[in-house]
Structure 1
Amino acid sequence: MKTVYKLLLMSLLVAVGCESDLDQVPPNIASADSLEDFQGVLNAAYFYQHGSVTPLAVMGDFRADNALMDEEPYPAFDRFNGELTVMEDQFFGPFYTALYKSILSANNVIENSSDATHIGEAKFLRALSYFKLVKVFGDVPVNLSASPSTTDKSILARQPVSDVYNNVIIPDFQDAITSLDNSGLSNGRATQIAAQGMLAKAYIQRGDFSNAQPLLAEVINGAAGAGISLQANYGDIFGFENDLNSEIIFATQISSSVVDEYGDSEFWSWYGGLDTKALMPLDPDLIAAFDENGEVSGTLRRGVVIDEGLMASPKYPQTGGPDHDWIELRLADVILLYAETLNENGTSSEEVLDLLDPIRTRAGLDPLDHTVLNTQALVREAIYDERRLELAFEGQRWFDLVRTGTVNEEIGESVDPNYYLFPIPISEILASDGVITQNPGYQGS
């Protein structure tokens, strides 16, 4: 396992000093004009995704109704005000820095490499990075150069979310689809089918179900040919021994033998209650959701996701924790998105609900009753409920609530939409001399 880039990355010195994260370059990498093989730079683009994993996990589940913090100031994740800025060093800063490092490494490959496959992988990683950034921060600076100016700070101005999608995320994923095949699935590299799935996910995040539908259909129809299938046992999706299993379409590979720039507790520790700031992270609301779905104690999926005794999640076994890959996209996620897309596009409720049967059967549940769930609204709610339970503790819940417009309903209070986004790191605002601005509602806005 961990065959993508371990040996190359072990030689990287992960230390940089610069004025802004847009200016950072992959350390210990020769200048572009002296390189002929950009494999090492591409591997750096993969590696830097590590730093986005735990912050995204915390934002996705602890901001939502799946998980709770115990120790101040961390419960601010459940208080919708401007307090989150005090935690930028642990979450928002590392997330921001890691993704712009990945972007700059990808830019270097795109601009200088002559290998079409490497360029396709780099475009996938650049699109993935910007997709994560806009979900978390909204408008963000855009850099598509391998050597951005270190003096012209106007390039740091935040660009509208719509422009980031239209000018970077969508075309980069499209180019990756064209450039890549699926041979990289076996060793965890970006592939055509992963680009199709992530582009569809980006469209759905924007509410564009028309463009998402054919892409999701291609992923589902092409899954078997690519060796992708649902795991028969839900628990076999997770844990380091199951990395790159048949259900995984793309994951950020993590290895304890490669030093991670992220220096705080990792996602598996947060979810498992191993950090003193969240010793009992399981939100009782998630337990109630399993109860309401008929998943009683001992049901196949419930036992993997939650442990009411510990009030934590055993989804990522603590043995081998530092080697757990972070799943960016898996087949069950795609199936649920396809069901949602078909429902939004007017497909009959019976046809849509049939798609959920394999996921529910694996969870130890009966198929949903077509005669009861016979309207678009009822089917929509059933899909949302299924996504919550199937993907709990995979960093998706908060972003699903925001995109579906269900934050207030599910959180149980009226949340100011300013707090749908997270704070831009103040360090970046200061380094840019104020060219980078803060999100409304947070200190420095």
Structure 2
Amino acid sequence: MKKIYIIVASLFFITACSPDLDQSPSNIANADSLTDFEGVLNAAYYYQLGSVTPLAVMADFRADNAFMFEAPYTEFDVFTSNLITMDEQFFRPLYAQMYKSILSANNVIENSSDATQVAEAKFLRALSYFKLVKSFGDVGVNLSATPSLIDASILVRQPASDVYNNVIIPDLQDAISGLTVSVAYGRASKLAAQSLLGKVYAASGNFASAESTLATVVNGAAAAGVSLVDDYSEIFGAEHEVENSEIIYSTQISSSVVDEYSFGSDFWNWFVGDDSKSDFPVDADLVAAFDASDATGATDLRRAVTLSADGKTAIKFPKEGGLGGEHDWIEIRLADVILLYAEALNENGNTAGALTQLNKIRNRAGLANSTATTQAEVKTAILNERRLELAFEGHRWFDLVRTNSVNSEMGENVNPNYYVFPIPVSEILATDGVITQNPGY
């Protein structure tokens, strides 16, 4: 039945204590006594739930797609040290749950004799560290299932570049070698690992490796049963999640399983205006972007799927059952990969090839081919297309940072200190300052 792994993994839920690097689920048997690590692997999947709502808010409300109305949540819309007031609601859940996922993954990697389990665990460990690095920059690295309580080295923040090169990339390369091509609902696959590796290369500025890796995904998608859905509206909504040819990997969500917020993740609730912190969350700048797309002479078919008729709320994930939403969080889908592949091609000087990929997405949206011609124009066109295609899917802020477009798109000079988010204060205090705060906070 749907979302089996979450139901199993919920058995391993515990209350976080600090520092989170030192935690392990106390009711999981000692690794020496385990022979089947499926439950521990499921725990690593389960803890990804803790990243969903924070990343949804961080990516779109920090950027120019959505805005907060009620203080102190309005701190997302300005760039000062006061964002730290959102610590306990957003940044600590993300930080804590990713390290729990990492710890569970470490247990599988060290102790399981099942090669597929180990490959899935390496994918999840890489995914967790990728979310941490792009959110917080430098982070501590723990690759042990039984970290020493007296070894402070795992708490010391490592340069983001080292985390990419020494942990995330090798883990994904191993995952690619150990996973099957076919995409399974809610599980890691070779295509998912290849896609994530391409995203990692792009985020770290290695567009040569990004191009070749993403080309493998785009060219191999059909053989793995992955393709663009003809009707954009059929990508979203709980009824479309299981048999969806476009989704490469998603984090499964069930209203019957609690997450860090004590109920099934309601990331979509922020977008539809059901939270008083932002009754009408859609930024007028996003509406203007859709207006500009329509002004090219065709109706952008994504608009009616993404925005309410009045342009004030986001309806991409339709409201269902109050807080008990059943919408999965789409981590990777083919359109995202195609647009990132276009970006890599363009960065490497193949503007014509980039346009070919870009136009696949535009044509699906009912639009004519792009009129961009120069490398600079195509770069802007791809960024604009990613905004419209992937609105409210956790990409916009990170796209702006990756493409050095924060100032031009936000219309102000933003201190680069605020490109990343604050380290949870509780982690700094619990480690007596071994974990340090990001500059500016």
Alignment of 1:190-201 (within 5 A): 190-201=188-199
Measured against aligned partners, the alpha-carbon deviations of 1:271-305 in whole angstroms (never above 9, x if no partner) come to 11111101110000000111112269964210111
Q: Is it true that 1:109 corresponds to 2:123 in the alignment?
A: no
Q: Is it true that 1:336 corresponds to 2:339 in the alignment?
A: yes
User: Which residue is 2:413 aligned to?
Assistant: 414
Measured against aligned partners, the alpha-carbon deviations of 1:1-27 in whole angstroms (never above 9, x if no partner) come to 5345144224x1522353310112135
Q: Aligned letter for 1:334?
A: V
Secondary structure at 2:262 match in 1: coil
Q: Aligned letter for 2:164?
A: Y
User: Which one of 203, 222, 225 corresponds to residue 223 of structure 2?
Assistant: 225
User: Which residue is 1:355 aligned to?
Assistant: 357
Unaligned runs of 5+ in 1: none
Q: Aligned letter for 2:291?
A: D
The Cα of 1:228 is off from its aligned counterpart by 0.2
User: Which residue is 2:291 aligned to?
Assistant: 291
Residues 404 and 129 from structure 1, CA distance in 2 versus in 1: closer, same or farther, beyond 3 angstroms? Answer: same
| Cα distance in structure 2, aligned partners of 1:62 and 1:249 | 25
Q: Aligned letter for 1:337?
A: L
Residues 17 and 190 from structure 1, CA distance in 2 versus in 1: closer, same or farther, beyond 3 angstroms? Answer: closer
User: Which residue is 1:306 aligned to?
Assistant: 307
Unaligned runs of 5+ in 2: none
User: Which residue is 2:280 aligned to?
Assistant: 280
| Cα distance in structure 1, aligned partners of 2:42 and 2:26 | 12
* TM-score of the superposed pair, with normalisation by structure 2: 0.96
The Cα of 1:186 is off from its aligned counterpart by 2.9
Is the 8 Å Cα contact of residues 297 and 303 (structure 1) preserved in structure 2? no
Q: Aligned letter for 1:355?
A: Q
User: Which residue is 1:8 aligned to?
Assistant: 8
Measured against aligned partners, the alpha-carbon deviations of 1:19-74 in whole angstroms (never above 9, x if no partner) come to 31011213521110000000000000000000001101111000000000000010
| Cα distance in structure 1, aligned partners of 2:153 and 2:361 | 49
| Cα distance in structure 2, aligned partners of 1:350 and 1:343 | 8
Is the 8 Å Cα contact of residues 4 and 189 (structure 1) preserved in structure 2? no
Secondary structure at 2:325 match in 1: helix
User: Which residue is 2:84 aligned to?
Assistant: 85
Q: Is it true that 1:315 corresponds to 2:316 in the alignment?
A: yes
Secondary structure at 1:164 match in 2: helix
| Cα distance in structure 2, aligned partners of 1:119 and 1:262 | 29
| Cα distance in structure 1, aligned partners of 2:226 and 2:203 | 24
Q: Aligned letter for 2:327?
A: H
User: Which one of 210, 213, 218 corresponds to residue 211 of structure 2?
Assistant: 213
Secondary structure at 1:43 match in 2: helix
Q: Aligned letter for 2:369?
A: P
Runs of 4+ in 1 over 3 A off after TM superposition: 16-19, 295-299
| Cα distance in structure 2, aligned partners of 1:143 and 1:19 | 15
Is the 8 Å Cα contact of residues 228 and 331 (structure 1) preserved in structure 2? yes
**Range that drifts further, 149-158 or 63-72:** 149-158
* TM-score of the superposed pair, with normalisation by structure 1: 0.95
The RMSD of aligned alpha carbons is 1.6
| Cα distance in structure 2, aligned partners of 1:299 and 1:162 | 38
| Cα distance in structure 2, aligned partners of 1:326 and 1:42 | 19
User: Which one of 235, 238, 241 corresponds to residue 240 of structure 1?
Assistant: 238
Identity between Structure 1 and Structure 2 (%): 63
Q: Aligned letter for 2:40?
A: V
**Range that drifts further, 388-397 or 301-310:** 301-310
Is the 8 Å Cα contact of residues 298 and 366 (structure 2) preserved in structure 1? no
Q: Aligned letter for 1:263?
A: S
Measured against aligned partners, the alpha-carbon deviations of 1:81-116 in whole angstroms (never above 9, x if no partner) come to 001111111000000011000000000000110110
